[in-house]
Amino acid sequence: MRNAFRLWISAIAFAVGATAANANDQLIQLSKDPNQWVMPAGDYANTRYSPLDQINKNNVKNLHPVWTFSSGVLRGHEGGPLVIGDVMYISTPFPNNVFALDLNNNGRILWKYEPKQDPTVIPVMCCDTVNRGVAYGDGKIFLHQADTTLVALDAKTGNVVWSVKDGDPQKGETGTSAPLIVKDKVLIGNSGGEFGVLGHVTAYNIRDGSKAWRAYSAGPDDQILFDANTTALGKPVGKNSSLKTWQGDQWKIGGGDTWGWMSYDPELNLVYYGSGNPSTWNPVQRPGDNKWSMTIFARNPDTGIAKWVYQMTPHDQWDYDGVNEMILADIPVNGTPTKALVHFDRNGFGYTLNRETGELLVAQKYDPKVNWATTINMQTGRPKVVAQFAPGSRGEDVNYKNVCPAALGSKDQQPAAFSPKTGIFYVPTNHVCMDYEPFKVSYTAGQPYVGATLTMFPPQGDNNLGNFIAWDAGTGKMLWSDPEPFSVWSGALATAGGVVFYGTLEGYLKAVDMQTGKELYRFKTPSGIIGNVNTFTHNGKQYIAVLSGVGGWAGIGMAAGLTKATEGLGAVGAYKALSNYTQLGGVLTVFALPD
């Protein structure tokens, strides 16, 4: 046990007794140590890149599993492990158990946190009972539970330090996001757009859980925390910019939820995240641009005030949530060195913006089968929509066929990676289209507020449902693409060893050459992988770790026992063959090279 907690007297000894005000400084220092993995994305910039190179493209073929750990929970394992010193921390889908595992003893359990949640929260979780991982800061592990509770656990003992309720599951509000620690605050988003829940991001004080601020996605300026200096594409948004784009009080049940990944630039002191779909999925019932759903936000973490916003899909007609990760990278954009924000949206366009100003620099399709829009107007930022593929354009109860991408997007929350060595982004994608039929629906708190029937399938002429691609965000060009039979629903990991790792829905951990995409290694884990790959060292040896456990939106049919093609918000039919290749299960697998 003494060895197991070496971390408290070595790499982060200063965390004991540290003040909340410098929790952010601790994380910045810890994240510079590639031997650990101290944030869900590895760093504040969401690069999911590791400078470790002991495992490289010449020897990765020798990788093999060295120990495993069963989480004891089925359904979708969509998060990933943290590694701090000699301890690994993982969380599970509902009921959101948290484990601290001893790396000195092949994952022996040091402590376990088992929250007691009301199981009635399960039916109001849109797309499986997933949890995207825990966060560390100020000597605490932070968990955002399904019932919206944010809990702070003592990292050494697992004891609850404080907890706070963020929302009301009886109204459809749930929690699936990974917290972000910034300075003396813990930031979390919310889920529930399919129940008419209004999206928000809330900052809690890291010491005691008291609320510091809350910023909504829609409503009056004092609620969405806009001021006179807030801009969109370099221009002032104007007073009550959101209210002008909703009919009456529709914004109050307008969605725009914030369940995706957040990033932070300490130099600019800005937090970046995206908002999701407006409610309902029937666009006929909510005329207008429905601001600020489907939007990238840049906010001051101290006050919550938005510096700039950019709405990618005004008046969303497809459920193209904008919650995917914002990757912060200093790259040349059309030849000019730029502090960039790169975002692969559900709508199938890869966006590159100036993260200081919000200026739109690049917007190109990263799946050539995208057909709902032809281009993005670089001056207005608006897509040129193709009416044939725009649900609601010919009214309700009309089936709009062969719309690409499907509602789960050309990429959902599964995070991409960026290598500063190559300047390339590595993107797990979906290759799926849909038929979409909107219908009238009424709002009742706590009941589904969807208003559309969907079926999903591969694009015409293709058999694969996914691709793993390399992307040049400075020019908006795809460099290579590896087809996969099913969507690539895991997060990617780029390493200095010239290797990129990702997982597949059938359960394979794969390693590919980051320059060419050539497959170098594969190993089939016990269940489909929708979790995020990470790497760390222990006693001088590099390891790769990944959670497998099929589920999420793509695997909801298996996870929840659904069989009708239109169930699971349309995903069940597209992925019905998945059960021929894998089964449910929650397992952590840790890999290494032979001694």
Q: Which amino acid is at 259?
A: W
| DSSP per-residue letters across 185-223 | EEEE--B-GGGTPPPEEEEEETTT--EEEEEESSSSHHH
Residues 6+ apart with CB under 8 A from 234: 357, 358, 359
Residues 6+ apart with CB under 8 A from 240: 220, 221
CB of 521 closer than 8 Å to CB of 530: no
Q: Which amino acid is at 575?
A: Y
Q: Is 319 among the catalytic positions? A: yes
Residues 6+ apart with CB under 8 A from 450: 194, 280, 281, 441, 569
What Å distances lie between residue 50 and 74, 174, 547, CA to CA?
30, 32, 18
Q: Chain centroid to CA 195: how far?
A: 20
DSSP-assigned letter for residue 526: S
Q: Which amino acid is at 510?
A: K
Pair of tokens at residue 203: 């900052």
Pair of tokens at residue 397: 């109860």
Residue 174's DSSP bridge partners are 191
Pair of tokens at residue 428: 């797990």
Cα end-to-end span (Å), the chain = 25
Q: Which of 319, 412, 435, 472 is catalytic?
A: 319
Query: Strand, helix or coil at 313?
Result: coil
Q: Which amino acid is at 171?
A: K
Nearest to 487 by CA among 501, 468, 471: 468
Dihedral over alpha carbons 159, 162, 163, 166 (to 10 degrees): -150
Active site residues: 319
